[in-house]
């Protein structure tokens, strides 16, 4: 199948200009001006994208693909994600994660769901492990999972500094990080430890201690939800200044009930003002999980199911705040690919997977192409998940 995208404005995420993109067998075969394949006699689908912006498909590194939540009892477990709720948000790659409930949620289910989503057209990876210790796994250890299971590209989310966590000690954190590093090395991956940062007193202190007292490189740590309070955000800036990458959660702001949270646009701009490179920031949706808002006594006050559309909304807000689109795209695309070592992803370039999100002039999602296949057109999924429409 040959697909030729004509006259779009290309952001690789760097600004390339107006050009055509030729897609062959799910990969980008050429990005040039005036590509004409009529003389080859090959049959191709040609789309004119004048006025549209072509960006790398978003990579969402923290999605509860089999559902999450459960903090208010069984009724509060959120359902599995469906394909169209991912693709319609411009996302072509996800990393699935278990979340708070490592008891009724299982690694086997997570792996099966990731394989299912990849079969349906996007690319899905997973973290091994859980909020709590001892970490759950597929093979008996997170290290073995990283080595032996292709889809496992990290450990997490392990909860730190949170009333729902197992309160991991510095020694435990060190062991988890070193297992993640070694598992990654042996499995030909980077091995990323996704740390759920809560609102507790500990903050980043345990992480800083591991970094100070061991030789584990900072690139293996990806702390997330770092903007949930001003204090945590300030600590995350120190972590980023040391060379680490911090992950911000889309939609985590005061208007969604997170009192004291720093909005993403403000947080990114504050990072840039502090001399932190945009390369040290990723943004994920925490999608399809529940965002539990707790009262002062630790009781659930309100449960919100998070949508994956947070990424596109935050991208739009970042551009509205004054960032160039090329810079604003990086936390959703090339930065995530670099952090996880996904060499075929995150960039529009020859030889990369043809994962492309097409934005209209208002920065809304027009179309989405995943591994060369058109999944979304005019904002609506044209390829639907296996059981999305098959009810009787």
**Which positions are annotated as active-site residues?**
286
Report the DSSP pairing between strands 221-224 and 192-197: parallel
Which residue of this chain has its Cβ atom nearest to Zn ion in the complex?
196
Q: Which is nearer to Zn ion, 151 or 157 (CB)?
A: 157
Interatomic CA distance for residues 60 and 286, integer angstroms? 8
- Span from 27-35, 77-85, 151-159, 210-218 in contact with Zn ion (CB under 5 A): 151-159
Q: Which is nearer to Zn ion, 20 or 71 (CB)?
A: 71
Tell me if 228 contacts Zn ion by CB under 5 A: no
Q: Which is nearer to Zn ion, 290 or 334 (CB)?
A: 290
Residues 188-207 that bind Zn ion (CB under 5 A): 196
Interatomic CA distance for residues 48 and 39, integer angstroms? 19
Residue 339: CB minimum distance to Zn ion, A = 17
Residue 389: CB minimum distance to Zn ion, A = 32
**Distance, CA of 342 to chain centre:** 12
Q: Where are the alpha helices (DSSP H) in the chain?
A: 83-87, 107-120, 142-148, 170-187, 205-213, 230-241, 264-273, 310-320, 325-329, 334-340
Residue 259: CB minimum distance to Zn ion, A = 17
Please report how the helices 264-273 and 230-241 are oriented relative to each other, as an axis angle in degrees rounded to 10: 40
Q: Which is nearer to Zn ion, 111 or 197 (CB)?
A: 197
Maximum pairwise Cα distance, the chain: 71
Backbone angles phi, psi at 127, to 5 degrees: -95, 145
Backbone angles phi, psi at 211, to 5 degrees: -65, -35
Q: Which is nearer to Zn ion, 157 or 314 (CB)?
A: 157
Residue 258: CB minimum distance to Zn ion, A = 12
Interatomic CA distance for residues 38 and 297, integer angstroms? 69
87, 134 contact by CB (below 8 A): no
- How crowded is residue 274: how many other Cβ atoms within 10 Å of its Cβ? 12
Residue 196: CB minimum distance to Zn ion, A = 4
Q: Interface residues with Zn ion (CB under 5 A)?
A: 157, 196
């Amino acid at each position: 199948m040959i697909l030729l995208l004509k006259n779009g404005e290309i952001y690789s995420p760097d600004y390339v200009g107006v050009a055509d993109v030729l897609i062959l067998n799910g990969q980008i075969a050429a990005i040039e001006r005036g590509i004409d394949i009529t003389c080859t006699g090959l049959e191709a689908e040609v789309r004119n994208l004048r006025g549209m912006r072509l960006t790398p498909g978003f990579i969402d590194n923290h999605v509860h693909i089999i559902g999450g939540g459960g903090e208010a009892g069984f009724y509060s477990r959120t359902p599995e994600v469906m394909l169209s709720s991912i693709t319609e948000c411009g996302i072509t790659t996800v990393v699935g994660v278990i979340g708070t409930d490592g008891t009724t949620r299982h690694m086997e289910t997570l792996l099966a769901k990731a394989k299912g989503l990849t079969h349906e057209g996007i690319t899905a990876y997973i973290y091994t492990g859980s909020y709590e210790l001892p970490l759950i796994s597929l093979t008996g250890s997170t290290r073995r999972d990283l080595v032996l299971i292709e889809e496992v590209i990290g450990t997490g989310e392990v909860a730190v500094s949170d009333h729902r966590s197992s309160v991991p000690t510095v020694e435990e954190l060190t062991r988890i990080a070193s297992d993640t590093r070694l598992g990654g090395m042996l499995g030909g991956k980077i091995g990323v430890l996704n740390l759920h940062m809560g609102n507790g007193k500990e903050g980043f202190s345990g992480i800083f201690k591991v970094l100070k007292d061991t030789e584990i490189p900072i690139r293996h740590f990806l702390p997330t939800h770092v903007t949930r309070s001003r204090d945590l955000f300030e600590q995350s800036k120190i972590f980023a200044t040391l060379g680490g990458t911090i992950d911000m959660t889309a939609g985590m702001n005061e208007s969604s009930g997170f009192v004291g949270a720093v909005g993403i646009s403000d947080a990114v701009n504050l990072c840039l003002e502090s001399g932190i490179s945009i390369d040290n920031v990723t943004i994920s949706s925490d999608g399809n999980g529940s965002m539990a808002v707790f009262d002062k006594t630790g009781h659930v006050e309100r449960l919100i199911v998070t949508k994956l559309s947070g990424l596109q909304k935050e991208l739009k807000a970042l551009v509205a705040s004054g960032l160039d689109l090329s810079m604003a795209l990086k936390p959703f695309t090339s930065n995530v690919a670099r952090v996880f070592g996904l060499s075929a992803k995150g960039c529009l370039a020859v030889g990369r997977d043809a994962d492309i999100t097409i934005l209209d002039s208002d920065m809304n999602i027009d179309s989405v192409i995943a591994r060369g296949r058109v999944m979304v057109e005019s904002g609506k999924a044209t390829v639907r998940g296996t059981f999305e429409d098959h009810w009787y």
